[in-house]
């Protein structure tokens, strides 16, 4: 006995097809990055694969590049982790159903706000999150700069190919390696007179921990 296709069946099939055609998450790669505007041009990392309804031939084409995509950096507890993006860097493209602009403008609040447009766009509001989906990625050689700091303030930590810098402002940045070496040297110079004094005391009265010159130990540790 043949089953008759009802109008409800046809509607459900159409809705299912529409749902399957909507995309809310794509892998991609950076084509170019505008650090001033915090936007990027992204090439979707997978092809648009479909079949010709007449011939059944398989068609595989790249999706068009997407330009002007906002870049989202991790932000929590009043701190921001921000880096630079180079060509080919991986990103995950995510889409929101509603315009998030009013929510962003509202700032720090627990009160929901009305969207600018109540229509659901099915994933029109795209943004790029710089990451891939590697479970155990191996760190590579730095190709840019990573900064960590309070939101809206100068970076507190800056990591690049030249090393790690610390400071509350650009003028106060001090290379971490140089800072540690300088402080160890200063500690050694400060303790040298004390070490000499302790070592000049009769051996039977010198505590075991003071037998080795302190400054010499610190210098060797560097």
Kindly state whether residue 61 falls inside one of the protein's structural domains: yes
Which region holds residue 77: left if phi is over 0, alpha if psi is between -120 and 50, else beta?
left
Kindly state whether residue 79 falls inside one of the protein's structural domains: yes
Q: Tens digits of per-residue pLDDT, 120-145?
A: 766 678 999 998 877 666 767 667 88
Total residues found in the chain within this entry: 222
Alpha helix segments (H runs only) across the chain: 7-21, 101-106, 176-199, 214-221
CA distance 56 to 51: 6
Q: State the residue range of the domain holding 199.
A: 178-221
Q: Which residue has the higher pLDDT, 63 or 215?
A: 63
Q: Who contacts 77 (Cβ-Cβ below 8 Å, separation ≥6)?
A: none
* Number of domains, the chain: 2
Kindly state whether residue 150 falls inside one of the protein's structural domains: no
CA distance 201 to 207: 10
Q: State the pLDDT at residue 32.
A: 97
Domain boundary among 138, 165, 194: 138
124 three-state secondary structure: coil
Question: What is residue 122's DSSP assignment?
Answer: S
| 44 and 130 both lie in a single domain | yes
Kindly state whether residue 155 falls inside one of the protein's structural domains: no
Q: State the pLDDT at residue 211.
A: 46
Domain boundary among 76, 111, 138: 138
CA distance 210 to 115: 70
| 105 and 186 both lie in a single domain | no
At 210, the pLDDT band (50, 70, 90 cuts) reads: very low
Please give the model's pTM, rounded to 2 decimal places. Answer: 0.64
Q: Cα-flanking dihedrals φ and ψ of residue 36, to 5°?
A: -70, -40
CATH assignment of the domain containing 60:
2.40.50.230
| 108 and 51 both lie in a single domain | yes
Q: How far is CA 102 from the centre of its chain?
A: 24
CA distance 62 to 67: 15
Q: Tens digits of per-residue pLDDT, 99-123?
A: 888 998 898 899 999 887 777 766 6
CA distance 85 to 71: 10
Kindly state whether residue 20 falls inside one of the protein's structural domains: no
Average pLDDT over residues 45-65: 89
Average pLDDT over residues 30-58: 92
Domain boundary among 90, 113, 138: 138
* Radius of gyration of the chain, Cα coordinates, nearest whole angstrom: 30
| 194 and 132 both lie in a single domain | no
CA distance 204 to 206: 6
β-bridge pairing 90-96 and 125-129: antiparallel
| 185 and 132 both lie in a single domain | no
Kindly state whether residue 8 falls inside one of the protein's structural domains: no
Kindly state whether residue 143 falls inside one of the protein's structural domains: no
């Amino acid at each position: 006995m043949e089953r008759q296709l009802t109008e409800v069946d046809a509607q459900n099939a159409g809705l299912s097809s529409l749902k399957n055609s909507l995309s809310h998450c794509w892998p991609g790669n950076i084509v170019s990055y505008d650090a001033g505007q915090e936007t990027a041009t992204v090439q979707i990392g997978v092809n648009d694969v479909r079949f010709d309804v007449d011939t059944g031939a398989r068609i595989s084409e790249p999706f068009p590049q997407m330009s002007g995509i906002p870049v989202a950096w991790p932000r929590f507890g009043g701190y921001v982790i921000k880096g630079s993006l180079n060509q080919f860097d991986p990103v995950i493209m995510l889409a929101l159903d509603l315009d998030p602009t009013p929510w962003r403008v509202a700032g720090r609040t627990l009160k929901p706000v009305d969207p600018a447009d109540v229509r659901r766009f099915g994933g029109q509001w795209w943004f790029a999150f710089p990451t891939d989906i590697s479970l155990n990625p191996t760190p590579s050689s730095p190709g840019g700069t990573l900064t960590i700091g309070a939101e809206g303030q100068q970076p507190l930590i800056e990591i690049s190919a030249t090393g790690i810098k610390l400071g509350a402002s650009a003028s106060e940045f001090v290379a971490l390696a140089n800072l540690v070496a300088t402080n160890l040297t200063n500690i050694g110079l400060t303790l040298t007179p004390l070490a000499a004094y302790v070592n000049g005391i009769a051996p039977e009265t010198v505590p075991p921990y003071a037998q080795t010159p302190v400054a010499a130990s610190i210098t060797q540790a560097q």
